[in-house]
Amino acid sequence: MEISKKILVATITVVLTSIITLLVNTAWNEYAVIGYQLSGPSDFYSYESNPLKIDLNLENSGNIGAVPISKIYVTNATIIGVNVTGVPSYQLPKFCRFTENMAIVSNLTIPKGRPLSTWMSIYLIPNRNVVSFAIFADVSIQADLLHPRNTVIKILPTELIYDHKEKDLYTLRK
């Protein structure tokens, strides 16, 4: 009996060590690399019926999908609408929420190997009588013990500032 217990303990040790090694190896070799940037037109004429469209572009150059939390903030402007690429408007509340100053997209997987392209768009109108307004982006991934190499990279610009030039014209600050 004593030898059987030793063999059982040795077998369990080898099996557990193999499983742990496999998990660590998988965790090290599977990762997401999310890059993000904002884009918008260089000039914008502000009218109530002509909102400014700003795109948040995301990419995933890693080898697994990930679920980023994408946020866009505005100052001196009001967000009046949000569009998430590939999500019908009736499902938008499942993945997006927004107020007049912030839009958040979450619970949506960005697939591996996705090139830099539009992930979400916001539509905004500058507040009345402002000299400038700004849009800021922030993207993060929640900590994942099984994928410790997941990273997020800023691809400039991640902030856009528009300055008032003449009557209804705003120009993107360089």
Q: Note the pLDDT tens digit of each residue in 70-109.
A: 999 999 999 999 999 999 999 999 999 999 999 999 999 9
Quote the Cα angle for 81-111-30, to 5°.
Answer: 135
Residues 71 and 14 grouped into a single domain: no
- Considering the domain architecture, whether residues 37 and 72 belong to the same structural domain is answered as yes
Phi-psi region of 55 (alpha: psi -120 to 50; beta: other; left: phi over 0): beta
What's the confidence (pLDDT) of residue 38? 98
Q: Are residues 42 and 52 located together in one domain of the fold?
A: yes
Q: What is the pLDDT of residues 106-141, one digit of tens each?
A: 999 999 999 999 999 999 999 988 999 999 999 999
For residue 24, the enclosing domain spans: 1-30
- pLDDT tens digits along 14-61: 788 777 766 666 655 788 999 999 999 999 998 778 899 999 999 999
